[in-house]
Amino acid sequence: MNIIIYAVIFVIIILPNEILEKVIKKRVQKRRILGIIEEKVEKKRGEQQPFYHPTRAIGKEEGILVFVSYATKDADIFKVRKLAEILTKYERINDVLYWQEDMKDNIIKYMNDNLDKCDTMLLFCSPNALASGPVEKEWTAADMMGKPIIPIFNNPDHIPPLLKTRLGVQFDPFDFQKNIDEIYSLILKKME
């Protein structure tokens, strides 16, 4: 009986994690190889370019893709739409994805289609977000994929316990530009 239980646990929990870990390692290895190749090409040209970073933006089409995770009830509190509009005007940001703007129909499909493409996640933390199943799925999936997650919060008690050690931004409802500046600075720092 114990062997059957162990086999079930292995198939349901351990095996998928091992597969995901292998996929992530392969992607990291490919990015390193691409970086080495590009560095050698640039040296041959006589140019001294910094080492290739897959998310470093040269132009808008190669910029950073940001995924925003938040509870719908908090969209106005954190001014998600306005924040996304302003961030996309920055040269290094290619796009800011948030489901109220980009989702067509199904939130799970939206997550699946966009989380893998993004370079970093902004996680707006609140009691509503803590109680939201989709928000929890978004940040846990992003964490498993090794995506940088930036908690944005009014109260640090609203940050999920596993993310409390991450660098974040305490949202200032009276100084929106300060919020933008701090978020943008942290996005760039995570992309280094």
Residue 162: what pLDDT?
93
Q: Which residue has the tokens 């509503």?
A: 128
Q: Indicate the DSSP class of residue 124.
A: E
| Residue 138 or residue 32, greater confidence | 138
Q: How far is CA 116 from CA 24, 106, 110, 165, in A?
A: 11, 16, 11, 23
Separation between Cα atoms, residue 164 and residue 152, nearest integer Å? 11
Residue 11: what pLDDT?
55
Q: Which of 8-22, 92-106, 166-180 has the highest mean pLDDT?
A: 166-180
Q: Where are the domains of the chain?
A: 1-54, 60-191
Q: pLDDT of 47-59, one tens digit each?
A: 433 333 333 333 3
pTM to 2 decimal places: 0.65
Average pLDDT value for the chain: 78
For the structural domain made of 60-191, what CATH number should be given?
3.40.50.10140
**Token pair in block for residue 31:** 């990015």
